[in-house]
A and B are shown apart, each in its own frame.
Chain A
Amino acid sequence: LGHGSGGQLMAELLTDVITPELGLTAPLEDAALIGLNQVFSTDSYVVTPRFFPGGDIGSLAVHGTVNDLAMRGARPLALSLAYIVEEGLPLSELRDITRSAAAAARAAGVPIVTGDTKVVGRGAADGLYVTTTGVGMRLRDARPSAAGAEPGDVVLVSGPVGLHGIAILSAREGLGFDADVSSDSRPLNDLVAAMIAAGGADVHALRDPTRGGLAGSLNEIAAASGVCVEVVESAVPVPVPVAAACDLLGLDPWHVANEGCLVAFVAPGSADAVVAAMRALPEGAGTAVVGEVVEGVAGRVLARTLVGSSRVVDVLVGEQLPRIC
């Protein structure tokens, strides 16, 4: 109950229930390192609606795993694709989704090499669940880790935030915002390769702010690295239609999911080169310098507001319960 939106409750589910049973001690990253340079990741996708402005569950499942590998500085080598299909799903829909997944994998330059399909009875699943697994090889000099941020690091965001979550919500609930907002779902492996080429080991931390949004990723990195992060509120690119929708719906755009941008913590000496490399690619054209690692309470994320005060940026907890009285 209430663990679905990827915030505090999900974190507690992981630390209290799942990782202890598995005997894992380190916090989970987007992808695991095996041996020296092999990276391994898996993710399941459940999304309503299955087709949304800017993508569908097939392309999303490919982008998600490609990006999780990329966030560990890896070049993706191969993917698997597995379906759990609810009886009654139109075959044409399954064909369209598969075609979309294949196209997405081709565009990212990764082959889908294996897969699996199970059909379950009506009511045993909600239409279609997709699982993708990926393996990759770490790029030379790539060392990014959620625990890698260091004092003085510059914080970058590669593009506008909030698009994916608002597009999905609007399409699902029939709110009409999807005329102006479509998902940013796309692969980020080329972007990461360009960043590593420009900054090497100075690219300390990478995260794609999917569930839990930008605020979640910043808090995860601040906590795992034991640093204090300060972001300038006005520097974070939030598209006007996203801001307007969030205003009406009472959502914080920093809590809304993304599927096509990343947060990076880069040593100050390499920041300019990395930013330039990012902006040279279409998926990084909107790269913004949004903040830095400052002295302060470890694990805390602050947003400097327009009036100059420092708001504490919190993570999403289940439903966004109001705090004001």
Chain B
Amino acid sequence: MSTTERIEVHGAVQGVGFRPHVHRLATELGISGDVRNAGGHVVITACGPAEALAEFRRALHDRAPRNARVERITVTPGGTTAQDGFAVLDSGFEAGPRTVVPDLATCDACVAELFDPGDRRYRYPFVNCTDCGPRATIVASLPYDRTRTTMAAFPLCPSCAAEYRDPADRRFHAEPVACPACGPRLRWGDATGEEALELAVAAVRRGGVVAVKGVGGYQLVCAAADEDAVIRLRELKHRPRKPLAVMVRDLGQARELSVVDAEAAALLRSPAAPIVVLPSRTADLDVGLFLPYSPLHHLLLHDLAQPLVVTSGNRSGEPITILDEHAHAVLGPLVDGVLSHDRPILARYDDSVVRAGRVVRRARGFAPAPMPLPAASPVPVLALGAQLKHTAALAVGDRAILGPHTGDLENADTLAAFEHTAETLCRWQGVAPEHCAHDLHPRYLSSRHARRWPRDRRIPVQHHHAHVAATAAEHGVRGPFVGVAYDGLGLGDDGTLWGGEVLLATYRGYRRVARFGLVPLPGGEVAVRRPSRMVLAYLHGAEDFGGPSIPDLRPTAESALVRRMVERRMNSPLTSSAGRLFDAASALLGLCDENSYEGEAAVLLEAAAAAHSGPALDWTLHRRDGLWVYDPLPTLRDLVTCGDPAGVAAARFHTTIAEVTAALVRETAGTVRTVCVGGGVFQNRGLVDALRRELGEFAVLAGERVPVNDGGISYGQAVVAAARLAGRDC
């Protein structure tokens, strides 16, 4: 006795080999019918005995392919199925939230073929299958089908076509399938294919820097052990000190450079294959390592047999290059050659970065996987993000599609990249946003973009509310929570710059309940770049709570001017920033006077503290204007007068911040027992752990899949805007 039903499977089910998987299950269980991709989900018509159908539905959920994520299965009885067997149909089209799968690192089966001299894809740099290969970077529109990807330009050869059509084959409907006979091909100058690769390898071996067209954009590559090459690469990137990511061939090579625990190993080998920031065996600073994630990277690492610096191919401040002409025109003159190929990149995806289990740059491999919205948005909303580490997000129904990292919004190219990303998100989803959500800061280019929208279509979201709402939403928090937002600077709702805040929050709103003491920023952005100037700012202009200040310092040429600026409040906006306090502490310990990259002083302070510990330094809390306020001056004073070596003092400073934070939370939480932290300061490896130890009776949550830094702001904006439009929190 057979029945027929229509089964819809929602989640990450396109581009991950889901239809062939359904075909295999159905054949195994003797079920007839068909399967097709709809808008963003999979629709199955299944006919068979009731028991077999039940088993089938269970298996759909429990035995999903490695890269699929089944979120929801709906079943409607009825429907007709004409044939005896089970068919895989061409894609149909239906409305609704749709999923674009992130790019997937080359799977083990494909790597085996890549290095198997007997395989027809031996050393073919574009080998892939339903389990691996490019996805989000090649998709023009949905549903996901070869004709709507950049692979449409490569007609399948008979061998590939046979694999593509055979439901029993690993490459059944692998949309980017290709082989040396029909697929994309490498190019280096006039040379192509294997010869091009050989020339690039030789250039790197000679100590050169080369540009390589990767999966989500061009990259700059050189031998990691070649000091001259690395110096040259740093010069052309205008990046004097910031650590560079190193690609290693395998976990063995990774362990030679750093300490790799089981969790890190799993992450390195995951389909997302991010850069993982790990403690270095040789240097004080952490090192960012990753494994080859495309066949081309496997070949480079194999042939060169040594770790390589692999960093995004862009000039300082510009987005990663994806266009061949641009790469040749802009990167070409700076490097020893360009290893390119003829598969276009449609969307820009930098390499993702994970530190201490938390994504700090969300791009290739993670984006654009959807994130949950606690309250579904009644209409599509485009969240425009902040300024640095920029991302945009699109709220559709109960999800937010968080686009990839595009870099710092300050020039025409990053602005164009942001607009392109926003346009791509909308096109994929087939929606036109009805509102935009934006930061309060009037000078962010994203806020300037917002002013193109009619006033009644703009939803302003305070920066730190967005930070903590992002954390809460990621973890599915329901009900009010305590938000602790520690970062550099964000504009508060009172027109001053915030950055050391405790908020009692829901998704729709918040009340500021505690903050750090105020300090002027003499010269605005100059003070952000110069931690030594922040020391002078605390010395001459910190908010007064009647306690002792830090001891006077040896006067410098700068100090008289800074003092005057502070006293006269000249271009010296006030801030309650926690990030600036970390800067001042770092400078007071002689670790960093000038930031060559964002957060350098804090990074050095954290590195100095590693391997040390100690009790908290002096600290006090005060009540002012209805808020709890932490006065950082006693802490800074103790930091310089305690007499401990810099490492110990740095560790004690971290302990202090954790204790202070715990005290502020306890004073303000009332009956709330959930703490959501956000803001760039929480990229710090130990701070979240220390806070968890201090706040045992609370659940302390930090962004894991969404960056705690400003890369997570757009998601937080989407969450808040959706809740406000829906008129409820979840």
Using a CB–CB distance below 8 Å, which chain A residues touch chain B?
2, 8, 169, 173-175, 247-251, 296, 300, 302, 307-312, 314, 317-325
Contacts and interface: CB of A to CB of B under 8 A. Distances in A.
B313 to A, nearest CB: 14
A320 B524 contact: yes
A8 B598 contact: no
B528 interface: yes
A324 B579 contact: no
B710 interface: yes
Contact of A307 (B238, B441, B443, B490): B238
B412 A300 contact: yes
Contacts of A320: 524, 571
B571 A251 contact: yes
Contacts of B598: 324-325
B497 A248 contact: no
B489 interface: yes
16 contacts: A173-B570, A175-B561, A175-B564, A247-B526, A248-B526, A249-B571, A250-B522, A307-B316, A309-B413, A319-B571, A320-B524, A321-B442, A322-B524, A322-B525, A323-B443, A324-B529
A173 B568 contact: yes
A169 B568 CA distance: 11
A322 B489 contact: yes
A290 B568 CA distance: 35
Contacts of A248: 523, 526, 558, 561
Contacts of A317: 442-443
Given A174-B564, A323-B525, A249 B570 contact: yes
B444 interface: yes
B487 to A, nearest CB: 6
Contact of A325 (B442, B445, B579): B579
Nearest to B444: A323
Interface in B510-558: 521-529, 558
A8 B442 contact: yes
Contacts of A311: 410-412
A291 to B, nearest CB: 14
Given A302-B412, A310-B411, A250 B526 contact: yes
Contacts of B212: none
Contact of B448 (A173, A175, A247, A314): A314
B91 to A, nearest CB: 36
Given A250-B526, A319-B571, A325 B315 contact: no
B680 interface: yes
A254 to B, nearest CB: 14
B379 interface: no
Contacts of B565: 173, 249
A250 B534 CA distance: 13
A312 B445 contact: yes
Nearest to A248: B561
Nearest to A228: B412
B563 to A, nearest CB: 11
Interface in B385-399: 386-388
Contacts of B487: 325
Nearest to B408: A324
Nearest to B236: A307
B573 interface: yes
Contacts of A2: 495
Nearest to B598: A325
A116 B320 CA distance: 62
Contact of B315 (A308, A318, A323): A308
